[in-house]
Amino acid sequence: MKKRVLGKSGLEVSALGFGCMGLSFGFGPATEKSEAIKVIRAAYDGGVTFFDTAEAYGPFANEEVVGEALAPVRDKVIIATKFGFENGVPSQGTNSKPERIRAVADAALKRLKTEVIDLFYQHRVDPKVPIEEVAGTVKDLIQEGKVKHFGMSEAGVANIRRAHAVQPVTALQSEYSLWWREPEKEILPTLEELGIGFVPFSPLGKGFLTGAISDKTEFDKTDFRNTVPRFAADARKANQALVDALGKIADRKKMTKAQIALAWLLAQKPWIVPIPGTTKLHRLQENLGGASVELAPEDLAAIQDVLSAVQIQGDRYAAQHQSLVNR
């Protein structure tokens, strides 16, 4: 797989990363540990060198799985994890106090079976702690050799600039896909100006852009998509128009919808590295195929025509989660 560099940081990673969250958290029951390890190692065998986890995924279980899975190839991969929630539990609110950041780093190092965290993200901006304090604490951890790079997630432009002035931000992780293009307005121009890489999560629209979900799909009762307005049955029915139109382009290219969606993201900027996740080996192989799809200008124009014609229905988060983003 081709490599990409996240902004001006010099951090080189595979063009597609692997989002490990869904193996332990968010989309129904956790994948059995040995199976999760098998999927992560298959991603590595397929060329992925960039793996994303967080203390909040589980909580804690995901970091342990990632640490065990990647231990044999630790020197060949980049591992990103995150701090920022009270006790690692999002529902308990944010906590990015310096002492909490330090505690999370030390615990993550043990769970990940590593001596250094390659990329340490603030999971969500904490309005109770000045971002300069957060960036300064991570800067100290970098100087101590516990962390290599600082990242932010779902942060707004003002906080990105303030943090970057204290400790250069290597990457911003936020949602970006064919059905969530808000970052194009202010975030992407700011990242380009500052030399910060962009790591889109949910690049396949939490599964919707693959075509495997319809208005009739029923999610497990523990699946957080049950709380997402964009996944209400009437919204899914309306949004199917986007998937159907993408399908025609995919058929013409002899590709899948997922591969087109990933290739579109890769075509936007050379410093964008999507991190699709999956629990299924056949979906993993399909996603990896998206890294080698070259979209011609006429393909991108056809996709733009589709995007202009379809009005996506439904908010991407319920109200209580929406308040945590773009701070």
Residue type, 68: E
Buried b (16+ CB within 10 A) or exposed e, 169-200: bbbbbbbbbbbbeebeeebbebbeebebbbbb
Instruction: State whether CATH 1.10.10.10 applies to domain 3-205+268-293.
Output: no
Q: What's the pTM?
A: 0.97
Q: Can you tell me the distance from the alpha carbon of 229 to that of 208, in angstroms, rounded to the nearest whole number?
A: 13
pLDDT, tens digit, 9 for 90 and up, residues 138-153:
999 999 999 999 999 9
How many alpha carbons fall within 13 Å on the CB side of residue 290? 29
Read off the tokens for 40.
Answer: 């992560």
Model confidence at 18: pLDDT above 80: yes
At 135, the pLDDT band (50, 70, 90 cuts) reads very high
At 78, the pLDDT band (50, 70, 90 cuts) reads very high
Read off the tokens for 238.
Answer: 């309306």
How many alpha carbons fall within 13 Å on the CB side of residue 95? 17
* DSSP 3-state percent helix, strand, coil across the chain (nearest 5): 50, 15, 35
The domain spans of the chain are 3-205+268-293
Q: Can you tell me the distance from the alpha carbon of 277 to that of 43, in angstroms, rounded to the nearest whole number?
A: 10
Active site residues: 57
